[in-house]
Structure 1
């Protein structure tokens, strides 16, 4: 993907957060974001709706897939973390064939693959991460060879550690990107409010420093929302380099964040979807249910999926968009 004019790491570090994001927004012509919508009738969304199975660990894989299909989602993100049914090391050829057939019969696609890596890993941990990237690549090719899903991950660490760990992160990410290239998949890295990479500037600094076509970005506004950054400025900075999107709501502060289901907070999904449509984003918008929600004793994975879908559909209606099913 093309880089913006703010491509130099040294330049971004010298700019304030507001100046950097503001210049990026201006460069991308944010004021024209609503233009592709038709004046009459509804435009077909360039993106679909997906649901991550990260929040459905208590269900069987078959039940989770059927639930998502019946609700109306277009795709699912498979969770590759240990303890989940699609962990590659324990998900053999027969299971992969069955899953591919199930996805086809339910008319679901694989929106993405979820991992949880640390870019400050030591050499022993790094070797394991590279093997997991290879395994994820093989799974992607086994399940969706004609439309390979991206592998997305956060990056670990703590916000205060950034200056101490950023060079190590670059070194590790270069190896991740090279391994992803060899596996013929895209690796999408995500900022997290409680991680070392918590802001758009830090995420873009890493991306520019690594400078590899197999490394792209994942966007999740909830992590920026609690840092009082706007949807406009963060989308404008990150979306041109984005291959994967998570959605959820959030409230609180960076020190005490509370994640919520889409539609339970203050994100205007009508405005959000208009902006995605204008940028021409073509991946899925994937609901992520935070562990702080699904670990609650009263959590119902099916009800969470239904409520999230209703929130997103209300946003599409407000945006004047429909979906091609």
Structure 2
């Protein structure tokens, strides 16, 4: 299924739905609606989201949470993540999805052993709670202890040892984070349950994002490797062309057009 994190096309849900439908896709990944993360929407607004997505006949492939993300270092209060997971688990049930995107906590002054131990402890608790709630956590190759290393991703899966923790691979994260994404994918591919599609050029110090297939992330090779290894999950566009949610800046005035251009490029690439 083709899908997209459509808050990069617009803040409002109607704009997000319009972008996905204009591409002819059947899936959407929710992160923010009207600038509010899904877990922070009040009950009335969330009920409207459920109704509007059902009316548009769009399937929600994943909820992109802030758990363990760039905004929540390992030194931060764990209660925030537990509370968010509880809310999102209920909202997954209402939306008919079972996936919640998480990361593995940026460091904040701890030594390597302490950082690893705290990260594993937190993900183990979260995975147990997720399993009890019938949802699956998807760890993304992004911010956090296990974010940029295949060895650590596999170590995290082994240490947590839960069917409620699997991997999310983002094709374009290697460029801004300074690693070879395709090389990482070759080692983790059998554990990947969800894919974000983006592309980029440059280095961690100076990079920019491009249409899928036009950058240096070897997106086509990543797609081929995933398919050759039996991947049948969603392909979810996160182009970072009209909005970079983890960096300062407003939604670009032509964000819908940029999102559509990236979506068309992704569709063609996948063909």
Normalising by structure 2, we get a TM-score of 0.83
Alpha carbons 1:154, 1:190 under 8 Å: kept: yes
- In structure 1, the residue matched to 2:62 is 112
Q: Could you say what secondary structure the match of 2:11 adopts?
A: coil
Normalising by structure 1, we get a TM-score of 0.70
Do structure 1's residue 143 and structure 2's residue 92 form an aligned pair?
no
Do structure 1's residue 156 and structure 2's residue 114 form an aligned pair?
no
- Could you say what the CA RMSD is over the residues aligned between the two structures, in angstroms? 2.8
Instruction: Write the distance in 1 (CA, Å) between the matches of 2:237 and 2:100.
Output: 16
Tell me how far 1:285 sits from its aligned partner: 1.0
Tell me how far 1:168 sits from its aligned partner: 0.8
Do structure 1's residue 165 and structure 2's residue 135 form an aligned pair?
no
Matches within 5 A, 1:282-297: 282-288=232-238, 289=240, 290-291=244-245, 295=249
After superposition, the C-alpha distances for 1:175-212 in whole angstroms (9 at most, x for unaligned) are 111111122100111122x6433221222221211111
- In structure 2, the residue matched to 1:69 is 21
Distance 1:164 1:131, change over 3 A: same
- In structure 2, the residue matched to 1:254 is 204
Do structure 1's residue 84 and structure 2's residue 38 form an aligned pair?
no
Alpha carbons 2:149, 2:184 under 8 Å: kept: no
- In structure 2, the residue matched to 1:301 is 255
- In structure 1, the residue matched to 2:84 is 132
Match of 1:179 among 126, 129, 138: 129
- In structure 2, the residue matched to 1:21 is none
Distance 1:149 1:249, change over 3 A: same
Instruction: Write the distance in 1 (CA, Å) between the matches of 2:160 and 2:228.
Output: 28
Distance 1:266 1:120, change over 3 A: closer
Tell me how far 1:215 sits from its aligned partner: 1.0
After superposition, the C-alpha distances for 1:120-148 in whole angstroms (9 at most, x for unaligned) are 545x711221111011010000111xxx2
The gaps in structure 2 that reach 5 residues or longer are: none
Instruction: Write the distance in 2 (CA, Å) between the matches of 1:79 and 1:141.
Output: 16
Alpha carbons 1:85, 1:91 under 8 Å: kept: no
Distance 1:89 1:271, change over 3 A: closer
- Of 98-107 and 287-296, more deviation after overlay is shown by 287-296
Tell me how far 1:165 sits from its aligned partner: 0.5
Q: Could you say what secondary structure the match of 1:191 adopts?
A: strand
Distance 1:310 1:173, change over 3 A: same
Do structure 1's residue 217 and structure 2's residue 182 form an aligned pair?
no
Distance 1:279 1:190, change over 3 A: same
Q: Could you say what secondary structure the match of 1:222 adopts?
A: coil
Q: Give 1 or 2: higher strand fraction.
A: 2
